[in-house]
Amino acid sequence: MLKQRILTVAVALPLFLAALFYLPNRWWGVLMAVLMLAGGNEWSRLARFNSVTYVISLVILIAGCGILTLWPSHATEQWLYYASLVFWCLAAPCWLRFKWRAHATVLVIAGIIILLPTWLALVRLQREPMQLLAMLAVIWIADTAAFFTGKIYGKHKLAVQISPGKTWEGVIGAVVAVTLYAWLVSTTSLGLHNNIKTIMSVFLAMTALSIVGDLFESWLKRTAGVKDSGNWLPGHGGVLDRIDGVTAALPFVALLYAGGTS
pLDDT, tens only, 197-239: 889 999 999 999 999 999 999 999 988 888 877 666 555 568 8
Kindly state the DSSP code that residue 23 receives in the 8-state scheme. Answer: S
Banded pLDDT at 128 (limits 50, 70, 90): very high
The secondary structure element, H or E, covering residue 158 is strand 157-159
Structure confidence at residue 232 (pLDDT): 62
How far apart CA 143 and CA 11 sit, in angstroms, is 19
- Looking at the whole model, is its pTM more than 0.95? no
Q: Is 192 buried (19+), middle (13-18) or exposed (0-12) by CB count in 10 A?
A: buried
pLDDT for residue 227 = 81
Quick one: pLDDT at residue 233?
A: 59
How confident is the model at residue 19, as a pLDDT? 94
* pLDDT of 138: 96
Task: Report the alpha-carbon distance of residue 83 to residue 211 in Å, rounded.
Answer: 18
pLDDT of residue 114: 96
Task: State how many domains the chain has.
Answer: 1
Q: At 11, is the pLDDT very low, low, confident or very high (cuts 50, 70, 90)?
A: confident
Separation of CA 124 from chain center: 15
When pLDDT is averaged across residues 25-49 and rounded to a whole number, the result is 94
**Residue 168: pLDDT band with limits 50, 70, 90:** very high
Residue 261: what pLDDT?
44
> Where residue 5 falls among pLDDT bands split at 50, 70, 90?
low
The pLDDT of residue 229: 78
Q: Which residue has the higher pLDDT, 103 or 86?
A: 86
CA distance 25 to 110: 27
Residue 134 has pLDDT above 70, yes or no: yes
Q: Is the pLDDT of residue 191 over 60?
A: no
The C-alpha atoms of residue 220 and residue 162 are separated, in whole angstroms, by: 9
Query: Once rounded to an integer, what is the mean pLDDT over residues 85-101?
Result: 94
Averaged confidence pLDDT in the chain: 89
Lowest mean pLDDT among 99-108, 118-127, 170-179: 99-108
Band of pLDDT at residue 259, cut at 50, 70 and 90: low
Range of the domain at 161: 2-258
- pLDDT level of residue 192 (50, 70, 90 thresholds): low
132-144 in b/e form (b: 16+ CB < 10 A) is bbbbbebbbbbbe
Q: How confident is the model at residue 262 (pLDDT cuts 50, 70, 90)?
A: very low
Residue 176: per-residue pLDDT: 97
